[in-house]
Amino acid sequence: MIHEIFPKVFHNHYDPEKAACQDSPVMCFQGRKLLCRVEGDTISYPRAEEIVPAGGPDASKLVFLFDISGEDYFLCPGGGPEAFADYEYRDISVYGKVFPLDRAYAAIIAFHLNNWYDTERYCGRCGHELVRDGKERAMRCPECGNLIYPRINPCVIVGVIHEGKILTTQYNRPNAGMFALIAGFAEIGESIEETVAREVKEEVGLKVKDLRFYRSEPWGMSSSLLHGFYCRVDGDPTVKPDGEEIAAGRWWTPEQLQECYTPSHVALTSEMITKFMRKEVTEESLWGEKA
Ligand SMILES: [Zn+2]
């Protein structure tokens, strides 16, 4: 998955005093587009020393984001300069097609933070302009003291299993693929387990039981923290897509998936389908028995 960048290590410790060096990578966004250079399947980003002559801000204005194995990443605040040299603005979805994985991961986390900095500019309580806090990764209102932390939305990805098959769904939008899993955001006042039950019921009309937490993944595209669960059907297995968010649903055996499913190396959804396809996750491994 995208955050598995070993042997590189991601450090999110926030240090507002940290200044960019000449060769620090700088993440520049224009909307959903990221300034980068892609050669073959290798991605790289402009360095601080290249940004200034291209019309970008000087190093003191850049915002420290995080470090990956000692390499400090910075953000060009308020939108990047025009494309220059052989750097170009590419849609952020480029992260799924490029290597090394630590740079692809940097793109998605920087995207998350850029959206947050871009949104949190004024105090929602009193309307005063916010400033970056001196200690934590937070925006602070100098007028009323309001503190705003980066927004992280809890979300579920659900692999529903029934009698040796897994359910995949198709979103109700043009060109949607057939290999989504049930997914959705937690709502106020519910546990993450309750989110699983509600989303499955809403999207395909199934009641589920025996939830097994699989693993989680930070997903900057939707400012989310994804929680992957497997579960099984409780009662009637008839899939009834809601027709609004979900157009169709289908049960697959591992063998059927092997014929037509192409795994992706970045997403939790794909890993969960792939584990089932390869029989590394089975009803027996999850529940110690057949359904
Ligand atoms: Zn305020």
The rounded distance, in Å, linking the Cα atoms of 208 and 194 is 11
Q: Is the Cα dihedral 125, 128, 134, 139 positive or negative?
A: positive
Q: How far is the CA of 117 from the centre of ligand 1 (A)?
A: 16
pLDDT tens across the length of the chain (291 residues)? 889 999 999 999 999 889 999 999 999 999 999 999 999 999 999 999 999 888 888 888 999 999 999 999 999 998 899 999 999 999 999 999 999 999 999 999 999 999 999 999 999 999 999 999 999 999 999 999 999 999 999 999 999 999 999 999 999 999 999 999 999 999 999 999 999 999 999 999 999 999 999 999 999 999 999 999 999 999 999 999 999 999 999 999 999 999 999 999 899 999 999 999 999 999 999 999 755
Q: How far is the CA of 127 from the centre of ligand 1 (A)?
A: 6
Give the containing element (helix H, strand E) for 111: helix 101-119
Q: How far is the CA of 236 from the centre of ligand 1 (A)?
A: 52
CA distances from 195 to 187, 200, 241, 257, 289 (A): 7, 8, 17, 27, 26
Query: Which domains, from first to last, does the chain contain?
Result: 10-119 (3.90.79), 153-287 (3.90.79.10)
Half-sphere exposure of residue 221: CA atoms within 13 angstroms, side-chain side:
13
Half-sphere exposure of residue 154: CA atoms within 13 angstroms, side-chain side:
12
Q: How far is the CA of 123 from the centre of ligand 1 (A)?
A: 5
CB 199 within 8 A of CB 207: no
Q: How far is the CA of 128 from the centre of ligand 1 (A)?
A: 5
What's residue 290's pLDDT? 58
Q: How far is the CA of 152 from the centre of ligand 1 (A)?
A: 21
What's residue 56's pLDDT? 87
Phi/psi at 124 (5° precision):
-70, -15
Task: Report the DSSP pairing between strands 165-171 and 147-148.
Answer: unpaired
- Residue listed under structure tokens 């529940």: 287
What's residue 59's pLDDT? 87
CA distances from 213 to 156, 160, 235 (A): 10, 12, 21
Give the containing element (helix H, strand E) for 81: none
